[in-house]
Amino acid sequence: MNKPIYDFTIDRTGTGWMVIDLCSGKVASVNGRAQDHLSLNEADDMAAQLNRGEGNPPPALG
Protein backbone atom coordinates (compact mmCIF):
# COMPACT_ATOMS: atom_id res chain seq x y z
CA MET A 1 0.00 0.00 0.00
CA ASN A 2 1.30 3.44 -0.90
CA LYS A 3 1.96 5.99 1.81
CA PRO A 4 -0.80 8.61 1.71
CA ILE A 5 0.23 11.93 0.25
CA TYR A 6 -2.06 14.77 1.18
CA ASP A 7 -2.84 17.99 -0.66
CA PHE A 8 -5.65 20.48 -0.60
CA THR A 9 -8.18 21.67 -3.14
CA ILE A 10 -11.39 23.68 -3.28
CA ASP A 11 -14.18 21.75 -1.53
CA ARG A 12 -17.23 20.36 -3.27
CA THR A 13 -19.43 23.30 -2.34
CA GLY A 14 -16.95 25.85 -3.63
CA THR A 15 -17.10 27.73 -0.32
CA GLY A 16 -13.88 26.52 1.27
CA TRP A 17 -10.99 24.10 0.99
CA MET A 18 -10.54 20.39 1.74
CA VAL A 19 -7.58 18.09 2.39
CA ILE A 20 -7.46 14.99 0.22
CA ASP A 21 -5.40 11.81 -0.02
CA LEU A 22 -3.95 11.98 -3.52
CA CYS A 23 -3.71 8.18 -3.78
CA SER A 24 -7.39 7.52 -3.07
CA GLY A 25 -8.96 10.90 -3.84
CA LYS A 26 -10.87 10.75 -0.55
CA VAL A 27 -11.25 13.59 1.92
CA ALA A 28 -8.96 13.19 4.93
CA SER A 29 -10.57 12.79 8.34
CA VAL A 30 -8.85 13.58 11.63
CA ASN A 31 -10.42 12.48 14.92
CA GLY A 32 -13.65 11.73 13.07
CA ARG A 33 -13.88 15.18 11.46
CA ALA A 34 -13.71 15.46 7.68
CA GLN A 35 -11.11 18.01 6.67
CA ASP A 36 -13.37 20.10 4.46
CA HIS A 37 -14.94 23.57 4.64
CA LEU A 38 -11.55 24.91 5.77
CA SER A 39 -9.89 28.24 5.11
CA LEU A 40 -6.99 28.18 2.67
CA ASN A 41 -4.47 28.52 5.52
CA GLU A 42 -6.12 25.75 7.56
CA ALA A 43 -6.11 23.36 4.59
CA ASP A 44 -2.48 24.15 3.75
CA ASP A 45 -1.38 23.66 7.36
CA MET A 46 -3.35 20.41 7.80
CA ALA A 47 -2.00 18.88 4.58
CA ALA A 48 1.54 19.75 5.68
CA GLN A 49 1.00 18.21 9.13
CA LEU A 50 -0.46 15.02 7.66
CA ASN A 51 2.41 14.72 5.19
CA ARG A 52 4.91 15.02 8.05
CA GLY A 53 3.07 12.27 9.91
CA GLU A 54 2.01 14.57 12.72
CA GLY A 55 -1.25 13.88 14.44
CA ASN A 56 -2.39 11.52 17.11
CA PRO A 57 -4.07 9.24 16.24
CA PRO A 58 -3.11 8.86 12.57
CA PRO A 59 -5.75 10.21 10.20
CA ALA A 60 -8.42 7.93 8.81
CA LEU A 61 -9.94 8.52 5.43
CA GLY A 62 -13.60 9.33 5.28
Residue 46: inside a domain = yes
Domain tally, the chain: 1
Residue 1: inside a domain = no
Residue 16: inside a domain = yes
pTM of the model: 0.77
Q: Which domain, by its residues, includes 52?
A: 6-61
Residue 54: inside a domain = yes
pLDDT in tens, the chain (62 residues): 457 799 999 988 899 999 999 988 999 999 999 999 999 999 999 999 999 985 544 545 55
Q: Which of 11, 36, 26 is nearest to 62 (CA)?
A: 26
Q: How many residues does the chain have?
A: 62
Distance of alpha carbon 24 from alpha carbon 56, whole angstroms: 21
